[in-house]
Structure 1
Amino acid sequence: MRVLGIDPGIARLGYGVVDVEGSSLRCVTYGCIETDAHTPLAVRLQTIFHRLTDILLTHHPSVMAVEELFFNRNTTTAFTVGQARGVALLSAAEQSVVIAEYTPMQVKQAVTGYGRADKRQIQQMVKVLLGLAELPKPDDAADALAIAIAHGHSAPIDRLVVRESNRPTGWTWERGTRR
């Protein structure tokens, strides 16, 4: 299974592509899609859409794992990040790629075994789990790799939920049964 992990953001959207074979993980690529703050929002979202579509067409992931948003304070940031996240979901849907969503706590738990791990602990575990020579940078790319790893660790095929909206065939699989 090839997983594209996405850490949503408007200024910087992190992505990471990971191949999962059983318990074996291999990093294919990672990085960030960056947009300029002085560019109109619609153009920034268009840039994210086109660059992410290029990544999907280049790497052909079977699933896109996306972090769910959680904001306590800044609602303006939440709205713009939510728009970038929506564009990411749209790009996956346009390419018929299954979408899986994880909370930050689920990602931390899956990668480090501790739901309240800090950024450094997550980066270190991503480095170890993927056999990287150095910590993945920037943080957004490391987070995207962590999201991909979380999906690889927590979504064996018999537990993967494929929503009807993600598959044009109308099939929904849950816990290995056809609905």
Structure 2
Amino acid sequence: MPRRFKSGEAHLHAPVRIIGIDPGLRRCGWGVIEAAGNRLSFVASGTVQPPADAALAERLRILHEELRALIGRFDPAEAAVEETFVSAGARSALQLGQARGVALMTPALLGLAVSEYAANLVKKSVVGTGHADKTQIQTMVKLLLPAARFEGADAADALAIAICHAHHRTALRIQAAVR
């Protein structure tokens, strides 16, 4: 396995493994990629689905444990989590916020640098427009990661979040190197 540099190290083209997380209480998508400069490669993806009939605390615990296990298995150095926009009721927004809190906290507890991206920025970074639909996102993820295998929109969205982070982290490193 190639040596991965920690977030603070300056080598611009060193491979880094990134986990993208699309938070959700019913379906939490995750996707792992490896980025070396502008070259991206697919590692794995999937969806965590806590039982819908379980108590909220139990569902959050399952989400935490599954994300912790995935991070342990795939050993990413950085995490990217989508900011959520909810126009549904207050109860749904609160529950989604709690799932998002777990999605942010779990990689942070494991020592990963965690970045957050708005859904429109993810879409614009991957598809070219901030109002892309799920089909367009899936098509572009498959184009950018030809080896990608994902079942459903949640895993594809998580891969798109990881891709967005890979693009933005490279730009930030170039800016820092120029200074």
> The TM-score by the shorter chain falls in which range?
0.7 to 0.9
Structure 1 residue 159 displacement after superposition: 4.7
Q: Partner letter of residue 107 of structure 1?
A: V
* Contact 2:42 2:148 (8 Å CA) reproduced: no
The answer for the alignment partner of 2:154 in structure 1 is 140
Structure 1 residue 158 displacement after superposition: 3.7
Counterpart-to-counterpart distance in 1, 2:146 and 2:98: 33
The answer for the alignment partner of 1:110 in structure 2 is 125
User: Is 1:10 the equivalent of 2:25?
Assistant: yes
What are the superposed Cα offsets for residues 52-80 of structure 1, whole Å, 9 maximum, x if unpaired? Answer: 00111111111110000111232222111
User: Is 1:76 the equivalent of 2:57?
Assistant: no
Moved runs in structure 1, 4+ residues, more than 3 A? 157-160
What are the superposed Cα offsets for residues 121-155 of structure 1, whole Å, 9 maximum, x if unpaired? Answer: 01000001001376x32110010000001111122
Normalised TM-score (structure 2): 0.85
Q: Partner letter of residue 91 of structure 1?
A: T
Structure 1, unpaired ranges of 5+: 161-174
User: Is 1:155 the equivalent of 2:155?
Assistant: no
* Contact 2:19 2:79 (8 Å CA) reproduced: yes
Structure 1 residue 117 displacement after superposition: 0.9
CA RMSD of aligned residues (A): 1.7
Structure 2, unpaired ranges of 5+: 1-15
Give the SS at the match of 1:10. coil
Give the SS at the match of 1:149. helix
Q: Sequence identity of aligned pairs in percent?
A: 42
Instruction: Map 1:25-64 to 2 at 5 A.
Output: 25-64=40-79
What are the superposed Cα offsets for residues 104-124 of structure 1, whole Å, 9 maximum, x if unpaired? Answer: 000001001111111100100
The answer for the alignment partner of 1:165 in structure 2 is none
Q: Partner letter of residue 20 of structure 2?
A: G
Q: Partner letter of residue 141 of structure 1?
A: A
